[in-house]
Amino acid sequence: MKHDVFISYSSHDKAIADAICSKLENSKVRCWIAPRDILPGVEFGEAIIDALVDCRILLLVFSAKANNSPQVRREVERAVGHGKIIVPFRIEDILPTKAMEFALFNTHWLDAMSPPLELHIDKLTDTIYRLLGYERTPPPPPPPPPPPPPPPPPPTKPDPITGLQIKDSSGNETILNEYGVVYNLNAEKKLANSIRDHLVIEKGNAIQEIPWDQIEQIEIRNMDAAMIMLLHDKSLDPVKLRSGRLVGLDESGFTLVQDLANIHSITPLRGKTIPEKPPLIISTDSIKNAKDGTELILIPEGIFLAGGPGINQGECAPFPVKLPSFYLAKYPVTNEQYARFLSETNPDLKDLRKWINLDQGCFVRKSMAGYEPYGGKNDHPVVNVAWDGAQAYCSWAGLRLPTELEWEKGARGVDGRLYPWGNKWEQDKCRYDGNKGDETTCRITDYKEGASPWGIHQMLGNVMEWCADNYEDSSYERYWKGDLQMPQGGKAHVLRGGSWRSVTYHANEFVCAERVCSDRIFLDHNYGFRCAKTP
């Protein structure tokens, strides 16, 4: 047997699950936890079933999110079916759903709602030991206290802090040039104006902000408490940082989000200038299509993290998907390109009306020589194009529409980021309702700062883009299981990416995993497309 304990949890409770795993493994209990113990290239479903068969105990981190998670419920049901011991560890005061209660009807629960959490984790560790039949060895005696330090020098006014050096539990170091600590994931918007200048902490029922230039060192003891050491030997009591995370820009300009549970120490850097660097674009090959001049960028074969917030199928943590290499257009198809296509193909009126609506919000029109763009919008993306009109253009150009998984990898790179530029919404990096003014679309070369890690532009905003796939509600459940075949049948097709009409209070419209659908014959003045090509 490769491990003793299988840890089942909701992705929202990952920090607590990681802390439990660390405590158990430090106590010599062999644990299996996803995604850490799933090898790249192995199907998630197969890996999870094998791990459940091999374990002796399933440890359930029970919360409101886990209670409503189909994936957590399936893991519990399969563990019960294989005769495994179930240990529910309840971290929130809620009752199980009927489906979860059926799976756990005769199981004794461990409650961990009252602070401090580490005492409950200690009790959980002892319970696991007894269930496994292990004998606990007494901890070694504490080392003798170190000699007292020499008296500190007279206090001096510190230089301005120009960076923050973070060392995590694995010894990795990162330097941030803009940073802050968010004490609660749901309070990020509320605290957005203060986190760059202050450390924001929760102490009791109050929020306290400490300017960074008053902080000498921060030592994160564990996921629930931190000791804040201030200048001149002043200190605060341990403060709650449950579900806390540190956010900031690293030296390459990327947004870093790191759970405080994994941080060993944070030290401000004084008197050091950290140069600003543009966001890193992954170097890759590109080609130009001879027929229509489309520039396409090679997305190499490999694994990327798909799914997550925005797919409208309940809870779905990002999961690895391996795709073969493909080319994806750097920009969406423009009015000028589509007018040339219509001029060369000269469709009859029946086909024209199936492909594009020239009467409303479109900047392509009939001319003496065929068709032409107008209104000074030659380099704006074409709109009012139906799915059949996008397919017809791709066939004429010798290209194709991307699948929705290809579109998603082209938009977010491989690390599961929420937006092409990182994990934080930035309103100046794409065209949407909040910055369009009286206009609709913009030029395809605008908003360069919002490019994806591959250097592909406007994957979010400006126009929503048709994909090759028929729409299927449960397709991401199949993708998670390793079945990447496109669904067949039906008139609805997938659209990806927000548009110039999208608004920020519909938050999911702006994440790379968001997927919507429309009938293939529907034409709208915020629907466009970009092309793809198989190498």
What pLDDT shows up at residue 232? Answer: 41
Per-residue pLDDT of the chain (535 residues; tens, 9 = 90+): 578 999 999 988 998 999 899 888 888 889 999 988 888 888 888 889 989 998 999 999 999 999 989 889 889 988 888 888 899 999 988 888 887 877 676 666 778 777 787 888 888 888 888 888 776 555 567 778 888 888 877 655 545 556 677 777 667 777 776 555 544 433 333 333 333 445 555 444 444 556 655 555 554 433 333 444 443 444 444 343 444 556 666 665 555 656 665 666 667 676 666 555 444 556 578 999 999 999 999 999 998 988 876 655 444 678 889 999 999 999 999 999 999 999 999 999 999 999 999 987 899 999 998 999 999 999 999 999 999 999 999 999 999 999 999 999 999 998 888 899 988 888 899 999 889 988 999 999 999 999 999 999 999 999 999 999 999 888 888 888 888 988 877 789 999 998 998 876 555 678 898 888 899 899 999 999 999 999 9
Handedness of CA 277, 254, 449, 428 (dihedral sign): negative
pLDDT given at position 193: 36
State the Cα angle at 392 between 386 and 398, rounded to 5°: 140
The edge-to-edge listing of strands for the beta sheet with 5-8 is: 31-32, 5-8, 57-62, 85-90, 110-111
Residue 207 bridge partners (DSSP): 202
pLDDT at 238: 39
Q: How far is CA 458 from CA 115, 203, 358, 407, 444, in A?
A: 46, 42, 23, 12, 7
Count Cβ atoms below 10 Å from residue 4 Cβ, excluding itself. Answer: 21
What would the DSSP string read from start to end of 439-458? Answer: -----TTS-GGG--TT----
Quick one: pLDDT at residue 392? 97
pLDDT of amino acid 80: 87
pLDDT score at 239: 42
What's the Cα-to-Cα distance from 341 to each of 144, 226, 360, 383, rounded to whole Å?
81, 63, 19, 14
User: CA 296 to CA 330: how far, in whole Å?
Assistant: 6
The H-or-E segment that residue 215 falls in is: strand 215-220
Distance between CA atoms of residues 338 and 495, nearest Å: 19
Q: What is the pLDDT of residue 429?
A: 93
Whether residue 166 contacts residue 176, with contact meaning beta carbons closer than 8 Å, is answered with yes
pLDDT at 253: 54
Give residue 452's pLDDT: 94
Token pair, residue 26, equals: 């430090």
Instruction: Write down the pLDDT at residue 8.
Output: 94
Supply the DSSP symbol for 359. S
Task: Report whether 57 contacts 85 (CB < 8 A).
Answer: yes
Q: How far is CA 340 from CA 292, 295, 479, in A?
A: 8, 16, 37
Dihedral, CA atoms, 39, 43, 47, 50, nearest 10 degrees? -140
On the CB side of 339, how many CA atoms lie within 13 Å of its CA?
22
Measured distance CA(511)–CA(463) in Å, rounded: 14
Q: pLDDT at position 287, please?
A: 94
∠ CA 275-280-285, nearest 5°, is: 145
Q: Which of 166, 160, 161 lies closest to 266, judged by CA?
A: 166
Strand partners, 161: 270
Beta-carbon neighbour count of residue 20 at 10 Å? 28
Distance CA 402, CA 329 (A): 9
* CB of 236 closer than 8 Å to CB of 216: no
What was the pLDDT predicted at 242? 40
Please name the helix (run of DSSP H) or strand (run of DSSP E) that holds residue 216, with its range, or none. Answer: strand 215-220
- Rounded to whole angstroms, the Cα distance separating 438 from 132 reads 68
What CA–CA distance (Å, rounded) separates 165 from 175?
5
